[in-house]
Amino acid sequence: MSHHEKKSKITKEMTIAEALRQNPKTAQVFMRHGMHCLGCASATGETLAQAAAVHRLELDTLLQQLNEA
């Protein structure tokens, strides 16, 4: 991907649902971390920071993987 294309960064303030909307490939990252409820209520109400805490994941690692997806 050229750096001319604008791709917004996935941030910890976003919800899982927002990250999925931005890049559907992030689903693979969530699944790999055991976050299977991509369509559930917490996916739309919980920020990625909160989700990482609930799943005991390192937030920076998760964000990096989501942005690389």
**pLDDT tens digits, one per residue of 26-63:** 999 999 998 877 777 778 888 999 999 988 999 999 99
Question: What distance in Å separates the CA atoms of residue 53 and residue 40, rounded to the nearest whole number?
Answer: 17
Q: What pTM, to 2 d.p., does this model score?
A: 0.77
pLDDT at residue 27, rounded to an integer: 93
Q: Identify the CA nearest to 55 among candidates 36, 40, 28, 69.
A: 36
**Strand, coil or helix: what is 16?**
helix
Task: Please provide residue 45's backbone torsions phi and psi, each rounded to the nearest 5 degrees.
Answer: -105, -10
